[in-house]
Every structure is written in structure tokens, then in C-alpha cells.
Amino acid sequence: MNSMQRVLTTLSHKEPDRVPLFLLTNLHGAKELGLSIEEYFSRAEYVVEGQMRLLKKYRSDCLYPFFYAAIELEAWGGDVIYQLDCPPNAGAPIIQLPEDIDHLQPPRVADAPCLTRVLDTISQLKARSGDTVPIIGVAISPFSLPVIQMGFDRYIELIYEQPERLARLMQVNEAFCVEWANAQLAAGATAICYFDPVSSSTIIPRDLYLKIGQQVAKRTLIRINGPTATHLASGRGLPILDDIAATGTAVMGVSVLEDLAELKAAAQGKLTLLGNLNGIQMRRWTTEQAEAEVKCAIAKAGRGGGFILSDNHGEIPWQVPDEVLLAISDAVERWGRYPLDWIEK
């Protein structure tokens, strides 16, 4: 099987030839090319070459043209702060006062050079890979984007104290999210990763998710012209797993803070799970630890398909060394081949 066939099979809750592996190494391409992170993301050609090299090196089952989360704030006119060894971060919030929301308008994707650079990257990756490897685009959910638009504290206050302005902000953000996601699909992305950490049970209670986050997701996802995966970016999702499935998404990114076997039992036939290797601890793993973690994850969630091995956050840290990533890939080849007869029944 090629990567596309492997992933489509597991999404159908059937067993492919082996467990699919998504190594979401958006930063490591800069290392491969000997560039700084800022220079690497300055040109689509750099990211394309980086992703193609990483695909061959680590034998991952996807291409990941995600640049950095702050790129969406950049499209709205915000600043991006670059550092040497971590993802670019968002600068000052673009919404300084709640009243700013009254006049807020979404940017047009075609008018944002930072976003068109991503679209160019996707188009080039599609031309080089065809339909053999899934290309995963990324859009931050309208419900989570305000964290970088206005700051966490002011956003939480808005949720509880100004429902009308919150509704206005969701309307604007939904329009942007849909346009951005569909532009990536039109450029050649196979699916969209809908990053929605604020909806996780780590951050808000389930009743608030059902009242706002889920409703936003339902309105947004139905307007996206392709399959989606909802990622809670390390946040807990088991208490809302059925609620996430009800939004129409096909995949849920799961947290290392929850038991993978329990998640797999709850998700059976409803959602494919993506996760849940600990990217933070991964920085200090030995190759033996990497193999043990992969083996444990496959033992808990591999049977019956419906599982893609990945990190639990959607972005592997810059500090994770090559030998660990190669050990993860080797371990999937060794322990992820179906049928998984080595797992005790």
C-alpha cells in the first residue's frame, strides 16, 4: 500500500498493511536545509523541499505544509515573533478592546502574502506527490482563534460577559476559517486539520463546549469542502468524544493525558484517533524509549484500524533529535505490521 491507501483504509476502521504514521515535523525541514526557522518559512520552495526530504527520511504517511499558528494572526495584520529554536509566536493582540470586534472584518486569503505562500507550498507538494501521500492543511477553529486575536484572559471574559460580541466574533472568524480551509483544499490539500484546543475538556467544561464550541464547529465544518480532523492540541477529549463525532469530523487528535485504550474503545466506529506520543518528553527519549512508546501505543489502539500514530500536539518540537524520530519510524515498521499478532489478547 502507499500512504494514501494506508490512511484511507484505517479511516474506514479496517486494518491496512501497517499502522499509519504522521510525523508532524513542520520545523525540522529548516534543519535539513541548514536554514533558520525565519528564513525557511520565507519561501514556499524551501518548505516544499524540506517536507519532501523529511517524507523520505522518516517514512511518514503525510505531508504537512503547516507553517506556524501565528500565520493566521499575521493575515489579520498582526505581528509574528521569530526565535531560533521554537515555532514563531504571535505578537500583540489585534483586538485591544471588545469594541474593536464591532468593526472587525476577515482578511481575504488572496490578499495575505503569508497565506498565499502556504497555498503555493501545497500546490507544489501536490505536483510532486500526486495522490500517493495525504497533504494535511491546517485551519485554527473560529472558537480557538480569539486566543491569539485578543489574549486568553480577555477572550474568556468575552465568552461569559458579552455574548452578542462573541457571536459577532464567531461570525467573522467562521467566514475566514471556511475561506482559508477551502483555499487549501483547492490548492491540493487532502484534508484539513481543524485545530480547536479551546474546546478541549482541559480548558472549558463540556456544557460550554456544547453551547458554543460544538455549534461553531457544526456551522463551520459543513461548509468546508473536504474531510476534516479535529485536533485539541494536547487537550483532553474523552469527555466530549461523542460530541466531537457529532460535528461530522472524521479524526480526533488525542492527548497523552488520557488512556489510549479507553479512547479507542470509546471511538470505535465513530472516529479515527490521531496520537498520542508525548512530544515534550520525546526531546529526551533514548531510541529504546522511543520504540517502547510506539509499541505501547500500537498495543492499546492499533487493532481494527481507526488509529494513526502521531504526537499528541500536532507539532513536534525543534529539539527532538533525528535519532528519536528515526527510531519511531523504525518501531512502526517493526511493531505496526498487521495483523498485530504479537499483542496479547
- pLDDT tens per residue across span 299-316: 999 999 999 999 999 999
Rounded mean pLDDT of 97-121? 97
pLDDT at 121: 98
- The per-residue pLDDT for range 310-336, each reduced to its tens digit, is 999 999 999 999 999 999 999 999 999
Checking if the pLDDT of 345 tops 70, the result is no
pLDDT at 16: 98
Checking if the pLDDT of 112 tops 70, the result is yes
Helix (H) or strand (E) holding 184, with range, is helix 163-187
What are residue 21's phi and psi, to 5 degrees?
-125, 120
Terminal C-alpha separation, the chain: 27
pLDDT at 344: 82
- The per-residue pLDDT for range 206-220, each reduced to its tens digit, is 999 999 999 999 999
**Residue 229: CB partners within 8 Å, gap ≥ 6?**
136, 191, 192, 193, 194, 249, 250, 251, 252, 253, 272, 274
pLDDT at 139: 98
Checking if the pLDDT of 174 tops 90, the result is yes
**DSSP code at position 144:** T
pLDDT at 191: 98
**DSSP code at position 108:** P
**53 — pLDDT class (breaks 50, 70, 90):** very high
Checking if the pLDDT of 263 tops 90, the result is yes
- The per-residue pLDDT for range 180-238, each reduced to its tens digit, is 999 999 999 999 999 999 999 999 999 999 999 999 999 999 999 999 999 999 999 99
Rounded mean pLDDT of 91-109? 97
Look at residue 226 and give its three-state secondary structure. coil
Rounded mean pLDDT of 56-77? 97
Q: What percent of the chain has pLDDT over 70?
A: 100
C-alpha–C-alpha distance, residues 268 and 213, integer Å: 23
Checking if the pLDDT of 257 tops 90, the result is yes
Question: Average model confidence (pLDDT) for the chain?
Answer: 97
Q: What percent of the chain has pLDDT over 90?
A: 99
Checking if the pLDDT of 274 tops 90, the result is yes
